[in-house]
Amino acid sequence: MLSLLRQSLKELDYYFVIPLFLLIGVGLLFIYSATKEASSNTYSISLLIRQSVWAIISLAFFFLITITDYRQLPRFSNLIYFLMSFLLILVLLLGKKTSGAQRWFQLGPITFQPSELAKVMLLITISSFWAKNHSKAGDLETIFRSFIHISIPTLLVFFQPDLGTSLTFVVIWLASLLIVGVKVKHLIAIGVAGIILVIMAWHFDIIRPYQKKRIEVFLNPNADPYGAGYHIIQSRIAIGSGEVWGKGLFKGTQNRLNYIPAQHTDFIFTVVGEELGFVGCLFVILLYFLMIWRCFLTSLETEDLLGQMICALVGVLLTFHSFVNIGMTLGIMPAVGIPLPFLSYGGSNLLSFCIMAGLVQSIHQRRKKLSF
């Protein structure tokens, strides 16, 4: 085991791994900064310790997945899908309810969100599905089966309710269709059907009033400056006030005075912008760019479809999460509750993205077929 790990460490893609470690480190630093209070540091230190423990666990899974042969995953695809569906049903029945949402299991001092782990589980199962059915990618029946594949977990998450994660599942499916080479006419039909479904969901109040309000406020934040638009307005003020170099670490006034809601979770990029300015934001974005670039490069270099799809889908998820979250803080995307990978507070999200990173490294080390 140790010899396998040593060999694996030699073959790591360090253009991918170094940004991964740096982002986790930056995340820990700004989780502390976002919750640091002038009167007492007890709360911020408590959160820092919890996230640090999750970081250790997540990195352990990263290395474990790295030394595991990803080509064995299709053998367990049905089991993974069943486990994912079971967890999502169970959380609806027995999960902890907070602020009207039932998304978490409370296991003693640990809070676990199964929908975060479901992202990587769905990524694995849809990749395995297309690896088995690649020759029939042009058939409507196969496309419909893939749609059913993602519909079950998407609906289960939507009813928690968690619009952000359910949208993420849809993005995984649409990206898989593009990667596998579905016909353009089928993609157009899917797009039209999607628009019709969104209009119906809006009209019949399937999309909840507060979710509608977020979209309306995205178009005009000043329409409700002390309500739904408050997050976006305060976030933009904080990032803008950081200017080029920022106000300095732990010196953000918007942050210190708690003007930014969810500043250690969904809006953590706001703290980076206020305290480190444009330069700090650019540095974080560059780290994401490096990881995303290496995901797609590994996908192009990999000789089997399963590896190609997993790497490309991880790249898509990193792009989607980082673009939507950062766009949310800048007011160019609606606030849909999507965390920033590796930075936002939350062990479940960190664990799921570290597992994805481990899959990318497993594929990177096995991307070329053996020849004799």
Provide the edge-to-edge strand list for the sheet that holds 110-112: 96-98, 101-107, 110-112
Q: Which burial class, exposed, middle or buried, applies to 18 when counting CB atoms under 10 A from its CB (0-12, 13-18, 19+)?
A: middle
CA 250 to mean position of chain CA atoms: 26
- Neighbour count for residue 210 (Cβ, 10 Å): 11
Distance, in Å, from the CA atom of 164 to the CA atom of 336, rounded to the nearest integer, reads: 5
Please report, for residues 51, 54, 250, 348, the alpha-carbon distance to residue 36 in angstroms, rounded to integers and kept in the order given: 15, 20, 8, 22
> Quick one: CA dihedral 335, 337, 339, 344, positive or negative?
positive
Residue 284 contacts residue 318 (beta carbons within 8 Å): no
Encoded tokens for 209: 């009033």
By the 8 A CB rule, do 332 and 267 touch?
no
Q: What is the pLDDT of residue 138?
A: 83
Which stretch of DSSP H or E encloses residue 319? helix 305-330
Neighbours of 100 (CB within 10 A): 9
| Residue 248 DSSP class | -
Q: What's the alpha-carbon Rg for the chain, to the nearest Å?
A: 21
Q: DSSP letters of 265-298?
A: TTTHHHHHHHHHHHHHHHHHHHHHHHHHHHHHHH
Judge whether 177 and 146 are in contact, CB under 8 Å: yes
In 10 A of CB 61, how many CB atoms?
Answer: 17
CA 310 to chain centre: 14
Residue 345 DSSP class: S
pTM of the model: 0.93
Which residues neighbour 66 within 8 Å (Cβ) at sequence distance 6 or greater? 8, 12, 358, 361, 362, 365
Element (H, E) at 96: strand 96-98
Backbone angles phi, psi at 105, to 5 degrees: -100, 135
CA–CA distance, 358 with 291 (Å, rounded to integer): 12
Q: Are 331 and 218 in contact (CB under 8 A)?
A: yes
Q: Two tokens at 112? A: 């676990």
Beta-ladder partners of 96 = 104
Q: What is the DSSP letter of 339?
A: P
Residues in CB range of 346: below 8 A, 6 or more apart: 54, 113, 116, 265, 339
CA angle 167, 308, 170 (to 5 degrees): 10
Query: What pLDDT does 371 receive?
Result: 44
pLDDT per residue as tens, the chain (372 positions): 666 667 667 788 999 999 999 999 999 999 999 888 654 567 788 889 999 999 999 999 999 999 999 999 999 999 999 999 999 999 999 888 877 788 888 877 788 899 999 999 999 999 999 999 998 988 899 999 999 999 999 999 998 888 889 999 999 999 999 999 888 888 898 989 888 988 887 777 777 776 776 776 666 666 666 666 777 888 888 898 989 999 998 888 887 777 777 788 889 999 999 999 999 999 999 999 999 999 999 999 998 999 999 999 999 999 999 999 999 888 888 878 799 999 999 999 999 999 999 999 999 998 876 543
Residues facing residue 112 across a β-bridge: 105
**Adjacent-strand bridge partners of 106:** 111
* Residue 308: strand, helix, or coil: helix
Q: Of 333, 332, 345, 354, whose CA–CA distance to 163 is shortest?
A: 333
Residue with tokens 């982002």: 23
Is there a contact between 260 and 241 (Cβ–Cβ < 8 Å)? Answer: no
